[in-house]
Amino acid sequence: MNRKQVAVELFRQKFNCSQAVFAAYRQSDQLDERTALKLAPVFGAGVACTGDGLCGAITGGLLALSMKHGRGDLNSIEAKLNTYELGRQFMHEFKESNGSCTCEQIIGFNIGTPDNHKRAQDMKLFETRCLDAVKSAADILEKLI
């Protein structure tokens, strides 16, 4: 199973968008899947399920990019700058594919309230728009990681 398929499968198992993307694209030699899944949930559904922040597929992707390319010591200033550039490229391509980088604009309304979250479930938006966002993030990460 390739990493995109892993992300899709994790999302279908009801892990949130951030968890699915980050766990699939983490550096598996440095971080196990269970720990990745525990680190990322707060970034789902527009960050902490507020519905109005960055899409969780983006935050999961940014975490994965940072893990692969980020600055890990005092001497790697270039890594920091490179990671910023990769992050901007990732977000730009994601926005081009999905029309926005925010959860609210991708879903079409704010899912930060229980009623709106239920509304999104009833409309199957998590299975359509959110799944598409996970797939899109995976496609972009395949080029950048």
Q: Kindly report the pTM of this predicted structure.
A: 0.95
* Predicted local confidence at residue 111, as pLDDT: 97
Tell me the C-alpha distance between 39 and 101, whole Å.
Answer: 21
Which residues touch 56 (CB under 8 Å, ≥6 apart)?
Answer: 16, 17, 18, 19, 21, 40, 43, 44, 45, 46, 47, 103, 133
The number of folded domains in the chain is: 1
Q: Please report, in tens digits, the pLDDT of each residue of the chain (145 residues total).
A: 899 999 999 999 999 999 999 999 999 999 999 999 999 999 999 999 999 999 999 999 999 999 999 988 877 888 999 999 999 999 999 999 999 999 999 999 999 999 999 999 999 999 999 999 999 999 999 999 9
Q: Is the dihedral of CA 72, 84, 110, 119 positive or negative?
A: negative
Domain that holds residue 106: 3-144
